[in-house]
């Protein structure tokens, strides 16, 4: 093979490599943009079943309006910050979109039929990951126990000593707590 062939070949491979790098950067940037866009409050409540149900409950919660003015949105509680955990959560969210599309939860009544099942799934994930998203804002070691109400302080100190995760005590903090049939059986 001639010297000019190898020079031309290196030039072509260089162009291919640079093009691949540029394409990869654009693809990664686009992927990141989609992850961020689908983590906004506006996106989360764009489905009418969310807007009519859990969003209305959220508007009445301490996570929406509180004395400190700090607001936690849907993604703060339901989407991990770490990249791979975030991607995995988004993959799992496709199941939610599927059920929206097929009409499993497309009315407030159908949503309520499935509320307990959906809540238990979220609670299970939160227990499994030690309430990772809660702990982005709430940390036992950052709490000012002496300035808490006595009952709160006692319960939080006990929870810390027992290494409890947030959701074990705080179900229904941002959304209405669903009731199971067992709660009414006496």
Structure tokens at 49: 């079943």
Bind-site residues? 44, 47, 50, 74, 77-78, 96, 134, 137-138, 166, 169-170, 175
With a CB cutoff of 8 Å and minimum separation 6, the contacts of 118 are 105
Bind-site residues for heme? 44, 47, 50, 74, 77-78, 96, 134, 137-138, 166, 169-170, 175
Q: Digits of tens for pLDDT over the chain (186 positions)?
A: 566 666 668 888 889 999 999 999 999 999 999 999 999 999 988 877 788 889 999 999 999 998 889 999 999 999 999 999 999 999 988 888 888 889 888 888 898 999 999 999 999 999 999 999 999 999 999 999 999 999 999 999 999 999 999 999 999 888 998 876 555 444
Q: Using CA atoms, how far apart are residues 83 and 61, in angstroms rounded to an integer?
A: 28
Structural domains of the chain, with CATH: 11-131 (1.10.3820), 138-171 (no CATH)
Phi, psi of 112 (to 5 degrees): -65, -35
Q: Using CA atoms, how far apart are residues 172 and 60, in angstroms rounded to an integer?
A: 12
């Amino acid at each position: 093979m001639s010297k000019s062939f190898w020079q031309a070949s290196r030039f072509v491979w260089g162009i291919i490599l640079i093009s691949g790098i540029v394409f990869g950067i654009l693809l990664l940037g686009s992927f990141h943009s989609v992850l961020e866009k689908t983590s906004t409050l506006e996106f989360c409540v764009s489905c009418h079943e969310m807007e009519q149900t859990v969003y209305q409950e959220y508007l009445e919660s301490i996570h929406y309006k509180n004395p400190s003015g700090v607001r936690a949105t849907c993604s703060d509680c339901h989407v991990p910050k770490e990249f791979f955990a975030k991607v995995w959560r988004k993959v799992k969210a496709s199941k939610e979109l599927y059920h929206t599309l097929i009409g499993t939860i497309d009315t407030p009544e159908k949503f309520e039929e499935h509320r307990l099942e959906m809540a238990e799934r979220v609670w299970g994930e939160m227990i499994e990951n030690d309430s990772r998203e809660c702990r982005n804002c709430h940390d036992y070691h950052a709490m000012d126990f002496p300035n808490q109400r006595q009952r709160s302080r006692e319960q939080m100190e006990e929870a810390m000593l027992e290494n409890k995760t947030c959701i074990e005590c705080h179900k229904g903090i941002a959304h209405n707590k669903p009731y199971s049939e067992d709660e009414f059986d006496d």
